[in-house]
Amino acid sequence: MSVLPWVAGFLVLLVGIMLSIALHEIGHMLPAKKFGVRVSQYMVGFGPTLWSRVKGETEYGVKAIPLGGYVRLVGMMPPAPEGKETGQGMFGRLVAEAREQSNEEVRPGEEHRAFYNLPAWQKIVVMLGGPVMNLVIATVMIGILIVGFGQMQVTTTVGQVSECVPATVTVDTADDPECTETPVPAARAGLEPGDVITRYDGTTVTDWAQLSGLIADTGTRTVPVVVQRDGAEMELTVTPTVVEKQVDEDGAGEPVLESAGFIGFSPLQERVRGQWSEVLPLVGDGTWETMKMVATLPVRIADTARQAFTDEERSVDSVQSVVGVGVILGDGFAVLDDMTDKVAWAVGILGSLNIALFVFNLIPLLPLDGGHVVNALYEAAKRALHKVRGLPRPGPADVARLTPVTYVVFLALLGLGGMLIIADLVDPVRIT
């Protein structure tokens, strides 16, 4: 099989991630400049600079490693409190160096333009600007997917009549059916591809979920079926057979089989365009599900590692790195024939990826945006308490003291990201 779909998948993912990151950093930069903070650099990527241009007081550029980006806000950390001695040891040196690097760009007489001098609410706006930008991107992409392309929905139109009755009906039945009888009831009844089922056993059919339930509950009774064929209504009779059908999973994630009526045809799928009113609820649902995943991230990462490096099957909802997302994009490009479907597939995945970036950046740990938000909230609470107690207004929160924690979190994220990349190379989640 050609590798071109996967190459295309990774290229689309790379471009999508870089654009998302570039817009994320704009979300930080614009409010920072609005509030008077000097922004010395806006960079897409890390490592050596490939191209840059100074416009006004900001250097804009692209770096060699396309795996991130940043804006340099002058004065992120306040100077050491007056009279406070520099700490000793490795951690003390880390804190001192962080303060020095943060303040070396603060020009004499422009201390008021340092980020640390912003009111707490402005700091929160600046730090939330990036994640909110990702949420806006996700909303636009999901809107394009729902309203522009439409979602694939199963219809009540016969797509293909099965060749035989399988012993059990599961998600893998179509790949390797174990036949028990031929022909299938649908063929004996005279159902043909293109027939639109409008009534089943006297009940008007409105969607596939309803029809599927009616068929499952029929048992082996002979029932009338009304279809539209070539613009005309036609009444047929069908006698379903009974098979063991996978309907759900138990609490342990094991398949549950139940006896159900079976006719033997695959419904046709088609794109159905939605309304803009559907977009925000879908984004909300996606955000909530992502938040639940992040809340259980340590457990999910452990499960992913166990599945990837043992004989256990990799779960389709396991945590993935950018490599895993690229594989899924490539799988979609490989199995989808229509270019519209390929583009819609990419738009949907990039929309979901931006929801993940929104939620992940809100984790309340430095160096993530959520950590800076928590620090600003602490500063606001401390100042409010001092005001109530009639005490002098305290200075900015000394975020530099958290530098060792920032390094630990950064290294942990780097290690976990590396482990997930290896897992996705060894045992990626596949959709084919």
Q: Is residue 82 part of a domain?
A: no
Q: Using CA atoms in the order 317, 148, 143, 205, what is the torsion angle rounded to 10 degrees?
A: -70
CA dist 84 → 95, 103, 340 (Å): 13, 17, 63
Neighbours of 388 (CB within 10 A): 8
CA dist 22 → 68, 137, 413 (Å): 8, 11, 21
CA distance 335 to 338: 9
Supply the pLDDT for residue 173.
47
User: DSSP letters of 206-218?
Assistant: -SHHHHHHHHHHH
224 lies in the same domain as 352: no
Q: Is residue 53 part of a domain?
A: no
pLDDT in tens, 204-261: 999 998 998 899 888 889 999 999 999 899 999 999 888 877 665 554 555 677 778 8
384 lies in the same domain as 242: no
| Helix pair 279-295, 297-308: axis angle to 10 deg | 80
Q: Is residue 103 part of a domain?
A: no
214 lies in the same domain as 180: yes
CATH of the domain at 227: 2.30.42.10
Supply the pLDDT for residue 248.
58
pLDDT in tens, 111-158: 889 999 999 999 999 999 999 999 999 999 999 999 999 988 889 999
219 lies in the same domain as 136: no
220 lies in the same domain as 303: no
Q: Is residue 327 part of a domain?
A: yes
Q: How many CA atoms lie within 13 Å of 358's alpha carbon, on the beta-carbon side?
A: 23
Q: Is residue 71 part of a domain?
A: no
Whole-model pTM over 0.75? yes
Supply the pLDDT for residue 92.
74
372 lies in the same domain as 423: yes
Residues spanned by the domain of 242: 152-272
144 lies in the same domain as 156: no
Q: How many CA atoms lie within 13 Å of 201's alpha carbon, on the beta-carbon side?
A: 17
Q: Is residue 91 part of a domain?
A: no
User: DSSP letters of 95-152?
Assistant: HHHHHHHHHTT--TT-GGGSGGGS-HHHHHHHHHHHHHHHHHHHHHHHHIIIIII-EE
CA distance 398 to 196: 68
Q: Which residue among 272, 293, 319 closes a domain?
A: 272
142 lies in the same domain as 183: no
Q: Which residue among 221, 255, 272 closes a domain?
A: 272
Q: Is residue 60 part of a domain?
A: no
Looking only at the bridges linking them, the beta strands covering 179-181 and 196-200 are unpaired
Nearest in space to 169 (alpha carbons), one of 220, 250, 253, 241: 241
CA dist 317 → 249, 290, 418 (Å): 15, 11, 19
Q: How many domains does one find in the chain? A: 2
Element (H, E) at 255: strand 255-262
356 lies in the same domain as 424: yes
Element (H, E) at 235: strand 232-238
- 364, 373 in Cβ contact below 8 A? yes
- DSSP three-state, residue 35: coil
User: DSSP letters of 306-360?
Assistant: HHHTSSSPPPTTS---HHHHHHHHHHHHHH--SHHHHHHHHHHHHHHHHHHHHHH
Residue in the block written with tokens 């930069």: 29
184 lies in the same domain as 168: yes
CA distance 289 to 266: 30
Q: Which residue among 229, 253, 272 closes a domain?
A: 272
Neighbours of 426 (CB within 10 A): 10
Give the chain's radius of gyration (CA, Å). 29
Q: Is residue 237 part of a domain?
A: yes
Supply the pLDDT for residue 174.
47
Active site residue 25: yes
264 lies in the same domain as 363: no
242 lies in the same domain as 359: no
pLDDT tens track of the chain, all 432 residues?
A: 578 888 888 899 999 999 999 999 999 999 999 999 999 999 998 889 999 999 999 999 999 888 788 999 999 888 877 656 555 677 777 777 777 777 788 888 888 899 999 999 999 999 999 999 999 999 999 999 999 999 888 899 999 898 888 767 665 444 445 676 678 899 999 999 999 999 999 999 999 989 988 998 888 899 999 999 998 999 999 998 888 776 655 545 556 777 788 888 889 888 888 899 999 999 999 999 999 999 998 898 888 888 888 888 888 888 888 898 999 999 998 888 889 889 999 999 999 999 999 999 999 999 899 999 999 999 999 999 998 999 998 888 888 888 888 888 989 988 988 898 999 898 888 876
